[in-house]
Amino acid sequence: MSRHVLDAEHYTSPDTLVKEKRYLFGRLWIFVGFTSMVRERNQFFTRKVAGIPILVQRTEAGVRAFINQCPHRLSVIQTEASGKRPMVCPYHAWSFGVEGELRGLPNHGLYQFTAAEREKICLRKLHIEEVGQLLFINFAEQPLPLPEQFSPEYLEQLREASLYLDSQIIYSCHRVRYNWKLNMENVKDYNHVPFVHPKTFLPVMESPVKALIAEPEAPSVVKGLLSRAEAPALSSLSYPTRAPIKPYKSWFSELCEPYRDEHIYYNWFIYPNVNFCSVRGEHFLLQQYDPVSPGETDYHLWMMSARRKDVRTDFTALLSTLIRGERAVIAEDTRVLERLQDGLGAHSASFMHGDYEEHLVQQHLWYRAHVLEVTE
């Protein structure tokens, strides 16, 4: 049964990370940022995705994404995390147009490029899609259709929810010492909340975690999945969940346009590495777990309120308070996951899963078939 879930080696192996960069991050649509970060012409942001430097910039033609490297000497085009300037390389001042084409070449006589050679000089352009206010990029030359990765119904939910995001965003990124997959599995594992977050997260929940109710002789869902060992559809790995939380109205809710009027903790799991959430529709957070090495992950965290009724309202202090609270919860998970990662090795047995972890098993089955290319 265990041969169909991931072994510990795939959380520690450099070879596995190489396969992930090629077959997972190199093929799937990956969240990269928000449209509110590139509202004006020449506004940009930069970051890395699975180790690759990315530039997202609004040009005269719309929002575009490129590898953030000049084709001359591979210097970065935009050096800051965000800003507003044309696409001009700071090394030798080569400048680029709306689709990444070469526009300016100072001291062009030094290069002696032919007209045909110059015509081919261009930034490497990436495919980019807007889902409401969420931006996704794809490294493949011919990417899979977005509805193949995310069902149309799920895409519509993401669009609807993201339209309530405010443009004032607080962001942090810190490095943690564990494999990125552990975090995506952790946020889908609601059973850890009473034990890891008894004083932070659990008190806001309406009721404790409920045990699965099944007849003593009822067949196990997970055992059935593992016995068939069929890889699920990719679109099934991204899905929404809802959990009731204790009734409470925040002081700032009257200053916003909340997403729905329910005492609910919303999650939209976005495979492969994003957890998008909202608390009562009053504020939102998006976590992304970006691999750095087999045992290191960059933990990206964006937070914002629901859309402000008046953009002159300054929520700087509020957002600082919200992100401190979220980082406290994250720190509790980090302690557990770093200890887990530190103990992994050749001596480790395969992971075990109960029925409530059906979605984790589904992830493993798809990953084995499409990343590790295991077919048995």
pTM of the model: 0.94
Task: Burial-class residue 326 by CB neighbours within 10 Å (0-12, 13-18, 19+).
Answer: buried
Given a cut of 50, whether residue 1 has pLDDT beyond it is no
User: Residue 327: is it exposed, middle or buried by C-beta count within 10 angstroms (0-12/13-18/19+)?
Assistant: middle
Convert the pLDDT of each residue in 64-98 to its tens digit. 999 999 999 999 999 999 999 999 999 999 999 99
At 23, give phi and psi (nearest 5°): -100, -15
Statement to judge: residues 63 and 15 lie in one domain? no
Write down the pLDDT at residue 2: 53
Q: What is the pLDDT of residues 293-348, one digit of tens each?
A: 999 999 999 999 999 999 999 999 999 999 999 999 999 999 999 999 999 999 99
Beta-bridged to residue 301, according to DSSP, are 172, 287
Peptide bond into 291 cis (omega under 30): no
Q: 113 with 170, same domain? A: no
Say whether 119 sits in a helix, a strand or coil.
Answer: helix
245 and 218 co-located in one domain: yes
Is 218 a residue whose pLDDT tops 80? no
Q: Which pLDDT does position 217 carry in this prediction?
A: 60
What are the respective helix, strand and coil percentages of the chain, to the nearest 5? 35, 25, 40
99 has pLDDT over 70: yes
Q: What Å distances lie between residue 209 and 116, 185, 356, 370, CA to CA?
A: 65, 17, 11, 33
Q: Which residues form the domain of 52?
A: 29-143
Do 179 and 197 share a domain, yes or no?
yes
Continuous H helices in the chain: 14-19, 115-120, 146-149, 152-162, 180-187, 193-196, 221-228, 316-343, 358-370
Kindly report the CATH number assigned to the domain that includes residue 34. 2.102.10.10
In tens, the pLDDT along 35-58 reads 999 999 999 999 999 999 999 999
DSSP-derived letter for residue 246 is -
* CATH value at residue 292: 3.90.380.10
- Tell me the average pLDDT of the chain: 93
Residue 250 DSSP symbol: -
Residues 210 and 320 in one domain: yes
Residue where a domain stops, chosen among 110, 143, 176: 143
User: Whole-angstrom Cα distance, residue 260 to residue 51?
Assistant: 37
- Tell whether 217 and 92 lie within a shared domain: no
When divided into structural domains, the chain yields a total of 2
Using a pLDDT cut of 90, give the percent of the chain over it. Answer: 87
Sequence-distant (6+) residues with CB within 8 A of 113 are 105, 121
Identify the domain boundary among 118, 143, 168: 143
**Same domain assignment for residues 348 and 244:** yes
